[in-house]
Structure 1
């Protein structure tokens, strides 16, 4: 046992000595502070939420004509703002099984920016344009399809807290002082700014999942179990992100429906691997 402690003490002394030596060399100008801290550097992530600009199965849709020339120009203006982040990798809300096709279409778009898509969505309109402006080489999808029943509160006898549940879903925006139900009245830039604010992202987690914890029959957890499925889907999407080979020189742009952005905001904020940049440093 004494031998083990002696070895540990020697290792600590050696580590301390090396750190002091690096610090001295830094002072002499041989090694910069940035180089000393390089191993601790996290991968910067711009985690950006949007609505689905093309076809979607989502119950709540935002009115947007993806074929309208003016709308496409507005999207490209936003892509130009976000391109200042200079991502090396772009992540989108498509399944990993689609990655080969995703990358192929992206290369075609790089070669021909005037390329037309039959059913363009936020990937073709925003992600591809952003990548083209940033000279980004890699595009990946991380989606994991998984259904859940967010209407369960109206389908069973709710014996947990039907008063709160029903009042909330009758007018959810009444519970937030900085959110207004006027997404379709705003300009595209204003709409996306609103959707990326913390209070709106919190709202999306609550309205899509957490409020279901107020639903259930006696001694059961039907609502919470449905909410857990949505958490599980987002955790699996985050796991798909972690399957992608990244290094500390990468800069990652993530484009997804904003409810996924909300979950990823929470995951990334605790991550020892990633650091989240301020969206509003770019979305001006």
Structure 2
């Protein structure tokens, strides 16, 4: 009798397993990975122009000159690697409102009539990577996708109205982690200076480095109280909101399922952008490390 019961139970378990496996397959089929989707390659960068963009952040002895022959050779190698992705569109960290202006500068660059100005530095990543790669690939334009966080007139029910009440709120971890990240930035400056461009970009685009990029802000989300969580709401309304807006600008670039979009952006944005794009059913994210080797 026990044997019969065991056989019945085993048969039932096998049937149940087969049914659940079929259901899982049906669920996966709703988001079929074989469906052609626009592909996105996210290249997190540092500001090539350094102090011209981020004033007083890097010691003079560690500032990288991207116009030296050695660095130019490394940039050329990077362009060769990115060209293998065959992007159909190149998205850049610039305001969409500057599209016509950037188009005019890019047109001048392609004609050999532009080398750089205050808004598009000759040694900046926009010209050194964006313009150069677009010209090499025969693109007629680049696509600015930057955004700023929204600004609202908050009601008394919103915790952000309480910002001034909690901005001086102290916590031992604030100073500890602030010093920690200051040291981290200093070590990054040294690593950037002594590394090749490819090696440093590989470091920047690693999952660990990109996760650390938002850690400094996550420390402060505890500011406030359970009833007035100013730290959490500030993170959402400023940092997360801005990146969500950038993501939505990428969405609006798509004109074909065959699109291959290269996004060249400051690396501190990449953790959330990657998270959003990987969660989206509309895109396939291509690992950038495949193109930094």
Q: Do the two structures share a fold, i.e. TM-score over 0.5? A: yes
Q: Which runs of 5+ in 2 are unaligned?
A: 1-31, 152-163
Q: Which runs of 5+ in 1 are unaligned?
A: 1-36
Q: Is the 8 A contact 1:63 1:184 kept in 2?
A: yes
Q: Which residue of 2 aligns with 1:133?
A: 136
Residues 272/147 of structure 1: CA separation in 2 closer, same or farther (3 Å cut): closer
**Are 2:40 and 1:53 equivalent residues in the alignment?**
no
Give the counterpart of 1:190 among 189, 195, 199: 199
Deviates more, 1:87-96 or 1:213-222: 213-222
Take 2:114 and 2:289, find their aligned partners in 1: how far apart are those partners?
A: 30
| Large movers: runs of 4+ above 4 Å | 57-62
Take 2:279 and 2:76, find their aligned partners in 1: how far apart are those partners?
A: 32
Cα shift at 1:194: 0.2
Q: Is the 8 A contact 1:142 1:237 kept in 2?
A: yes
Relative to the length of structure 2, the TM-score reads 0.70
Cα shift at 1:221: 2.5
Cα shift at 1:199: 0.5
The alignment yields a C-alpha RMSD, in angstroms, of: 3.1
Q: Which residue of 2 aligns with 1:64?
A: 64
Give the counterpart of 1:165 among 167, 171, 174: 174
**Are 2:81 and 1:73 equivalent residues in the alignment?**
no
Q: Which residue of 1 aligns with 2:88?
A: 88
Output one character per residue of 1:224-281: Cα deviation in whole Å (capped at 9) or x when no partner. 2332211111111111222224211111000000011221110111111111111111
Q: Is the 8 A contact 1:88 1:252 kept in 2?
A: yes
Relative to the length of structure 1, the TM-score reads 0.72
Give the counterpart of 1:276 among 278, 282, 285: 285
How many equivalent residue pairs?
A: 236
Q: Is the 8 A contact 1:87 1:136 kept in 2?
A: no
Cα shift at 1:174: 8.9
Q: Which residue of 2 aligns with 1:265?
A: 274
Output one character per residue of 1:196-215: Cα deviation in whole Å (capped at 9) or x when no partner. 000001111222x3222133
**Are 2:232 and 1:224 equivalent residues in the alignment?**
yes
Q: Which residue of 1 aligns with 2:39?
A: 44
**Are 2:219 and 1:211 equivalent residues in the alignment?**
yes
Cα shift at 1:102: 1.6
